Structure 1
Amino acid sequence: MELVNRYGFYFLILAVISELALPFVLGHYVKGYSQTEMLISSFGETGMRTKTAFQVWEIVNGVLFILAAPAFYHHFVDTNPNVALILALFIVAFGIGDCIITGLVSRAKNSEEVGFASLLHNYASGAGFVALLLGTLLLIWLYYQEHNQVMVIAMLVIFLLAGVFMLLFAMPKIPIIKAFQVSHRGLWQRLNLLFLYLPYVLVSVSTIAKGRG
């Protein structure tokens, strides 16, 4: 556990870099792949030559996120142990839901393939997104308790941006507003992930810079 606490922030940074790089690396192997229109999970669909690479990549990233969670708990436990524990669980939830399950269970390629596995993929991924977004709220509260106004403001701005991009990404799946057609869904997914990851990267980098990681 001491080893995980010591290197957890490095695991987090490595996982985020890996997640952001994944679509651009695998995109080179899919003819006609559009980074702005197509989703990242398309790499794992049935029949895609990138399926195995995508699955392994996501499972490894999920493990890295899970290994990072104890470091966040350890870092904030003196500020608020209950909130620190929930924050760590949210990070684990993302690692399992949006990474490991996404790697193990493929998304349906078309409406005819939609079944339990595809629904599990979609809901687990969505739950992971929400977990990281709620985790940012917890970070805002923790830094507020630490009287760190700079981080509070930074986290709040990032939270709002992540929420906007999450709405744009999820709009086609929301019954009330799905009639409003939004293009470039792949772009909104990538921007959503970028701003979901950013608070945790900031925590990791700032902690490492202070020699506490």
Structure 2
Amino acid sequence: MKILERYGFYLLIIAVISELVLPFVLGRYIKGYSQVEMLISNFGETGMPTKTAFKIWEIINGTLFVLAAPAFYAHFNQTSHSLSMWIAICIVIFGIGDCIITGLVDRASSADEVGFASMLHNFASGAGFLALLIGTFLLIWLFYLQQNNAMVITLIVIFLISGFFMLLFALPKIPFVNTFQISHRGLWQRLNLLFLYLPFFIVAVKNLPVFKNR
């Protein structure tokens, strides 16, 4: 556990960078793939040449997120034991839900293929997104307890932006609202993930030895 507390921030930085570059690397192998319109999970659909690479990539990234959680717990434990525990849990939920399960369980490529596996994929991914959003709120609370006003304001802005992009991404799946035609869903997914990752990425970078005493 001590080694994860020591190197967990490095693992999270690697995982975030890996997640952000994934669609741009794999997108080169699918003719006509649109980063703006198509979802990241399209890479893992049946018949895609990127399916195996996507699954392995996501399982590795998910494992890195899970292994990074103890570093956040250890860092914030002196501020609040309960909040630091929940921060770690949120990171683990994301790593398992949006990465590992996404890698293990196929997403339906058409309405005819929708079944338990596809529903599990969508539910786990949604739970992962929500976990990071809640985690951002908990980070705001922790920095408030530390009286770090600059981080509180920064994370509140990021939290609002992330919530906005999450809403745009989720609108087609929300009953009574899905009649609105929202285009560029792939773009909203990527921007949502960027701002979901950002609070945890900032905390990790600020706690690297090269930046910690600045």
Pairwise TM-score range, normalised by the shorter structure: over 0.9
Instruction: Work out whether 1:158 is the aligned partner of 2:158.
Output: yes
Report which stretch shifted further, 203-212 or 168-177.
203-212
Q: Which runs of 4+ in 1 moved over 3 A?
A: none
- TM score, norm. by length of structure 1: 0.98
What does residue 44 of structure 2 align with? 44
Distance, in Å, in 1 between the alignment partners of 2:103 and 2:149 is 38
Residue 128 of structure 1 aligns with an amino acid whose one-letter code is G
* Residue deviations 1:25-54 (CA, integer Å, cap 9, x gap): 000000000000000000000011100000
Distance, in Å, in 2 between the alignment partners of 1:150 and 1:198 is 15
Please, what is the CA RMSD of the aligned residues? 0.9
Instruction: Work out whether 1:108 is the aligned partner of 2:121.
Output: no
Distance, in Å, in 1 between the alignment partners of 2:106 and 2:140 is 34
Q: What pairs with 1:35-114 in structure 2 (closer than 5 Å)?
A: 35-114=35-114
Q: What pairs with 1:111-126 in structure 2 (closer than 5 Å)?
A: 111-126=111-126
* Residue deviations 1:158-211 (CA, integer Å, cap 9, x gap): 000000000000000001211111100000000000000000001001111116
Please give the secondary structure, in 2, of the residue aligned with 1:177: coil
Distance, in Å, in 2 between the alignment partners of 1:194 and 1:106 is 23
Give ranges in structure 1 of 5+ residues lacking alignment: none
Residue 64 of structure 1 aligns with an amino acid whose one-letter code is L
What does residue 198 of structure 2 align with? 198
Distance, in Å, in 1 between the alignment partners of 2:126 and 2:185 is 15
Distance, in Å, in 2 between the alignment partners of 1:172 and 1:182 is 7
Distance, in Å, in 2 between the alignment partners of 1:99 and 1:93 is 9
* Residue deviations 1:74-96 (CA, integer Å, cap 9, x gap): 00000000010011000000000
Q: Pick closer, same or farther for the CA change 1:202–1:106 going to 2, 3 Å.
A: same
Residue 203 of structure 1 aligns with an amino acid whose one-letter code is V
Distance, in Å, in 2 between the alignment partners of 1:66 and 1:148 is 27
- TM score, norm. by length of structure 2: 0.98
What does residue 25 of structure 2 align with? 25
Aligned residue pairs: how many? 212
Distance, in Å, in 2 between the alignment partners of 1:163 and 1:156 is 11
Give ranges in structure 2 of 5+ residues lacking alignment: none
Distance, in Å, in 2 between the alignment partners of 1:149 and 1:176 is 39
User: Could you tell me how far 1:63 is from its partner in structure 2?
Assistant: 0.3
Instruction: Work out whether 1:149 is the aligned partner of 2:155.
Output: no
Please give the secondary structure, in 1, of the residue aligned with 2:207: helix
What does residue 11 of structure 1 align with? 11
User: Could you tell me how far 1:18 is from its partner in structure 2?
Assistant: 0.2
Please give the secondary structure, in 2, of the residue aligned with 1:200: helix
Please give the secondary structure, in 2, of the residue aligned with 1:79: coil
Instruction: Work out whether 1:210 is the aligned partner of 2:212.
Output: yes
